[in-house]
Structure 1
Amino acid sequence: MRDRPAHRPALAGKAVFEGSGIRLETLPEGHLLHVMGSIDTKILAGYLSAADLAESSLRPAGFRQWFVVGDDKLAPARIAALSSILQGNAFVSDQSHGRVRIGLSGPLAAETLAKGTAVDLDPSVFPEGHSVVTLFGHVSLHLTRTGLERFELTVLRSYAEHLHEELEHLAAAA
């Protein structure tokens, strides 16, 4: 008898949506670690390298908070190793099970996002690598520009389907 149900991706069955000038896709449910502590980004990047997580993306998520994001799933031992390396400087909370990443790209990506958020998405104000915690309609999310015309939205798992459907609707109307 199983102790818990089998994992099912939050957006299982959602096909890639491609419209005129826009692409919406579900990104891999790899790892997403929330790191909180009194260190700076450069020092944290060094700790990630020491924990063999240098390939992960490091994204600001608030004052003295970051998300460590990657496409591969991490074994609990790797997360524990990072936590041990950071001991006394920062704490790690594995959010991989509770958050979903959605990719939005193309020439109309920023215009589509502007329909739901008040963030100024002009590349001179919100350049590649920049992240912000914001609202899209009534849904809180973490927004990152990953390329000139590419964004990644990280949302709580329970809102992922709603956000994806809202983005599909807006992209289809673009």
Structure 2
Amino acid sequence: MRDLPQHKPVLAGMAYNGISGAGVRLEALPEGHLLHVLGAIEPTALATELVKAGFAQSSIRQAGFRQWFVAGDEPFVPASLDALVAALAGKAFVMDQSHGRVRIGVSGRSSRGLLSRGTAVDLDPSVFPEGHSAMTMVGHLSVQIVRTGDDSFELTVLRSFAESLWDDLTHMAASAEKDGV
């Protein structure tokens, strides 16, 4: 049926390599899966249940008190979500946010400097190590920032604000390049 909505990645085909070569790279990450888990379950127990339910390649990011985002590149099978919901019954609630949020990768030697132009979070590796996450504002947008490597971060934003965040990041990168950062 032609009238059924078709999923189209919101940042399809977008890529940005700026700030003198390898300085900063922006990347629209695959719109795989993003689950919001709320409840009194420890991350280690959650990780165990994720593996059992078929989410072994997913990462867990703290999103607030007793809240986690479970993110991964591969789309999930509804049966896997059902298995996870059943396993966490009485311990936590699971909400699929896969179609409501978008992930953007920011990497390169100038990535921390770029992000510091838009957020007040201290991204120094001694304070914000790999695997650490924070819910914050980047400009006027609510974003989750996760350090995924030495010079790499992942930003998660509501889908309807993804293009705005992308534009803000490219403007910050252009401004940083102009300033010689």
TM-score after normalising by structure 2: 0.92
8 Å Cα contact 1:17/1:168 also seen in 2: no
- Once residues 36 and 92 of structure 1 are traced to their aligned partners in structure 2, the CA distance between those partners, rounded to angstroms, is 7
| Alignment-mate amino acid for residue 57 of structure 1 | S
Q: Is the 8 A contact 2:16 2:170 kept in 1?
A: no
In the alignment, structure 1 residue 63 sits paired with structure 2 residue 91: no
Query: Matches of 2:170 and 2:77 in 1, distance apart?
Result: 33
Question: C-alpha distance in 1, partners of 2:142/2:115?
Answer: 13
Contact 1:128 1:147 (8 Å CA) reproduced: yes
Question: In 2, Cα distance between the equivalents of 1:3 and 1:80?
Answer: 28
The alignment's C-alpha RMSD in Å is 1.1
Instruction: Point out where structure 2 has 5 or more consecutive residues left out of the alignment.
Output: 177-181
Q: Whole-Å Cα distance in 2 between the matches of residues 76 and 51 of structure 1?
A: 10
TM-score, scaled to structure 1:
0.96
Asked if 2 retains the 8 angstrom alpha-carbon contact of 1:16 and 1:26, the reply is: no
Q: Deviations along 1:122-173, whole A, 9 cap, x unmatched?
A: 0000000000100001100110000010000000000000000110111122
**1: distance between equivalents of 2:45 and 2:126?**
26
Q: Give the aligned partner of residue 14 of structure 1.
A: 14
Residue in structure 2 matched with residue 171 of structure 1 by the alignment:
173
CA displacement 1:91-140 (0-9 Å, x = unmatched): 10000000000000011101110011010000000000000100001100
Q: Distance in 1 between matches of 2:103 and 2:118?
A: 17
Q: CA deviation at 1:2?
A: 4.2
**Count of aligned pairs:** 174
Q: Distance in 2 between matches of 1:104 and 1:49?
A: 27
Q: 2:44 aligns with which of 38, 42, 45?
A: 42
Unaligned regions of 5+ residues in structure 1, if any?
none
